[in-house]
Amino acid sequence: MISTRLVVDNDFVISELDRRVFGTFVEHMGRCVYTGIYEPGHPSADARGFRQDVMALTRELGTTIVRYPGGNFLSGYNWEDGVGPKDQRPTRLDLAWLSTETNQFGTNEFMDWCRDAGVEPMFAVNLGTRGPDEARHFLEYCNHPGGTTLSELRKEHGHEKPHDIKFWCLGNEMDGPWQICAKTADEYGRLAHETAKVMRWVDPSVVLAACGSSKHDMATFGQWEDTVLDHCFDDVDFISLHAYFENPHASTAEFLGNIDQMDLFIKEIAAVADSVAARKHSHKRIMLSFDEWNVWYKARTLDDRRKPGWPQAPRLIEEVYNHEDALAVGGALIVMMNNADRVKTACMAQLVNVIGPIMTEPGGPAWRQTIFHPFAQAARYARGRVLRPVIHSPTYQAKTFPEVPYLCASVVHDDSTGQTAIFALNRHLSDEQEISIELRGLGDRQRLVEALQLHHADMKATNTQEAPDNVSPGRLEAVEIDGHRITARLKPGSWNLIVTSNAKPS
């Protein structure tokens, strides 16, 4: 048994949590769209082909914003191909994933799906094969009220009212040699600047994100952000970050050290953005959009990423998640919350089948992967102000990060309900953790609202079509509350949620 302490104070606030950190991602890749969210003829599909089993799980997941349409797919995409009568839409080769794209699902279908799911859309413009001209036309089609050829075309396509899409990504991973028409930092920075300029002239209310490095270990990491922001600092609101956790040492302890590495990544990018601000004598702060993150290493071979013969909706990167992956995802969510002052949007990549929290079979069922659970709990209970956690915990040494505390935790307090949500990961893999939590300034008559735990004796345990609830949350027992002090016992290798309230029960 190890002992840890977690202290928060109502006066020590990181930031109000932007609920857009509970975003996900739908790319035209593999089976995310086709046989994922969209499958005409499926027993649960509605008249538009939207799978209602997936819709119900999406709502339960609680995702708040969904990025679309890519990803690498974006850099060869013509938005015009995906609008208008379906029988007139072209079928194209998708060079990103060597697949055949039928365009039976496009912008208007995605907007209808978002409305049904109760999520905000996060769109992206193609800055690979295309540029500012298409970006301004696409925005005009989506957001202009009427009276122009493109806005009237949207109406003809059945959408009288503008879509009013606020959040736009300027391209995707433009530094990556794998990207269709990758750019140097100077080329992309100039392009982002000019694209942002014309997009704001079409609709001044848009929020714009420039591409940061594709991953932390890119050779140009840091320098890329510095150069790009030098060009477009005044034009954009966000810079993006992408990270996929891997387990190269086949060690759970090493794997969970990625969580602290992610925290460092965020702080490094904020520092680079602020150094550009300093150089420009600006008080503006560029916010961070962590618009692709997840665990992804088991289904990462070339064969996982590409199938021969230009197939439609092939099974690509259908990573099956295990218990330790759910712990890593829980830890990533804690990091995101604890950086709430800079990370204002984040998208777990992706939503369905393609490295997704939801899995489906064509014509068959849909189920929750292990990583679904920490995400759904955080999206449900993390509301309000994130309090600065003071953590006293023994640590371990890892190659992924030099000093890793066994306790990883975040505390979010909602003034409107009086509820405090505590998210705690026990990274000790053999010992229980006795945690003592002190909630200062949040009321002295705390009572328990919820206590859940995600634990499995086997770190490699998965959820499958046959056993969809093998890894699923249970009650966290033995939580004791004395005034504003809480104690609990966290199982080895577990993700835990404790919710208290100081309000009288109604």
- Active site (annotated) includes residue 173: yes
CA-based end-to-end distance of the chain: 38
3 state SS of 498: strand
Site membership for ligand AHR, residue 237 (CB under 6 A): no
Contacting ligand AHR within 357-416 (CB under 6 A): none
Site membership for ligand AHR, residue 71 (CB under 6 A): yes
Chain-centroid distance, C-alpha 238: 15
Site membership for ligand AHR, residue 70 (CB under 6 A): yes
Own/partner long-range contacts of 248-255 (Cβ < 8 Å, ≥24 apart): 248/297, 249/399, 249/400, 252/324, 252/327, 252/429, 252/459, 252/493, 253/396, 253/398, 253/404, 253/427, 253/429, 254/398, 254/399, 254/400, 255/324, 255/328, 255/400
- How far is residue 203's CA from residue 210's CA, in Å, rounded to a whole number? 17
- Our CB check for ligand AHR shows the closer of 173 and 225 to be 173
Site membership for ligand AHR, residue 241 (CB under 6 A): no
> Using CB under 6 A, which of the segments 69-77, 158-166, 204-212, 233-241 binds ligand AHR?
69-77
- Our CB check for ligand AHR shows the closer of 55 and 349 to be 349
The DSSP letter of residue 505 is P
Contacting ligand AHR within 23-52 (CB under 6 A): 27, 29
User: Which of these, 171, 5, 152, 151, lies nearest to 72 by C-alpha position?
Assistant: 171
8 Å CB contact between 219 and 213? no
- How far is residue 167's CA from residue 208's CA, in Å, rounded to a whole number? 6
Site membership for ligand AHR, residue 72 (CB under 6 A): yes
Site membership for ligand AHR, residue 76 (CB under 6 A): no
Axis crossing angle, helix 252-279 with helix 223-232, rounded to the nearest 10:
40
Catalytic residue (one of 27, 101, 173, 319): 173
Say what the alpha-carbon torsion angle 253, 258, 263, 266 is, to the nearest 10 degrees: 180
- How far is residue 277's CA from residue 259's CA, in Å, rounded to a whole number? 28
Q: Which residue has the tokens 């102000």?
A: 385
8 Å CB contact between 226 and 277? no
The residue length of the chain stands at: 506
Q: How far is the CB of 29 from ligand AHR (least distance, A)?
A: 6
- Our CB check for ligand AHR shows the closer of 333 and 382 to be 333
Site membership for ligand AHR, residue 173 (CB under 6 A): yes
The helix (H) or strand (E) run that includes residue 408 is strand 407-414
- Our CB check for ligand AHR shows the closer of 185 and 276 to be 185
- Our CB check for ligand AHR shows the closer of 169 and 479 to be 169
Q: How far is the CB of 33 from ligand AHR (least distance, A)?
A: 13
- Our CB check for ligand AHR shows the closer of 173 and 254 to be 173
The footprint of ligand AHR on this chain (CB under 6 A) covers a number of residues equal to: 10
Neighbouring-strand partners of residue 387: 13, 411
Q: How far is the CB of 365 from ligand AHR (least distance, A)?
A: 24
Single-letter amino acid, residue 375 = F
- How far is residue 267's CA from residue 436's CA, in Å, rounded to a whole number? 28
8 Å CB contact between 143 and 155? no
> Using CB under 6 A, which of the segments 5-13, 66-74, 120-128, 191-199 binds ligand AHR?
66-74
8 Å CB contact between 103 and 89? yes
Site membership for ligand AHR, residue 69 (CB under 6 A): no
- Our CB check for ligand AHR shows the closer of 7 and 299 to be 299
Give the other-Cβ count within 10 Å of 12's Cβ: 14
Say what the alpha-carbon torsion angle 126, 128, 131, 137 is, to the nearest 10 degrees: -20
Site membership for ligand AHR, residue 94 (CB under 6 A): no
Single-letter amino acid, residue 126 = N
- Our CB check for ligand AHR shows the closer of 72 and 377 to be 72
Contacting ligand AHR within 481-500 (CB under 6 A): none
User: Which of these, 188, 186, 296, lies nearest to 245 by C-alpha position?
Assistant: 296
Catalytic residue (one of 292, 318, 319, 324): 292
Q: How far is the CB of 292 from ligand AHR (least distance, A)?
A: 6
- How far is residue 356's CA from residue 373's CA, in Å, rounded to a whole number? 12
Token duo for residue 400: 């992924």
Site membership for ligand AHR, residue 463 (CB under 6 A): no
- Our CB check for ligand AHR shows the closer of 177 and 308 to be 177
Q: Which one of 135, 349, 407, 479 is in contact with ligand AHR (CB under 6 A)?
A: 349
Site membership for ligand AHR, residue 109 (CB under 6 A): no
Site membership for ligand AHR, residue 289 (CB under 6 A): no
- Active site (annotated) includes residue 246: no
Q: How far is the CB of 173 from ligand AHR (least distance, A)?
A: 5
Q: Which one of 338, 345, 350, 370 is in contact with ligand AHR (CB under 6 A)?
A: 350
Site membership for ligand AHR, residue 338 (CB under 6 A): no
Site membership for ligand AHR, residue 291 (CB under 6 A): no
User: Which of these, 278, 189, 197, 267, lies nearest to 230 by C-alpha position?
Assistant: 189
Q: How far is the CB of 405 from ligand AHR (least distance, A)?
A: 30
- How far is residue 409's CA from residue 430's CA, in Å, rounded to a whole number? 19
- How far is residue 459's CA from residue 429's CA, in Å, rounded to a whole number? 9
Q: How far is the CB of 5 from ligand AHR (least distance, A)?
A: 38
> Using CB under 6 A, which of the segments 68-76, 205-213, 271-279, 374-382 binds ligand AHR?
68-76
- Our CB check for ligand AHR shows the closer of 295 and 499 to be 295
Q: Which residues bind ligand AHR (CB under 6 A)?
A: 27, 29, 70-72, 172-173, 292, 349-350
- Which residues are known catalytic residues? 173, 292
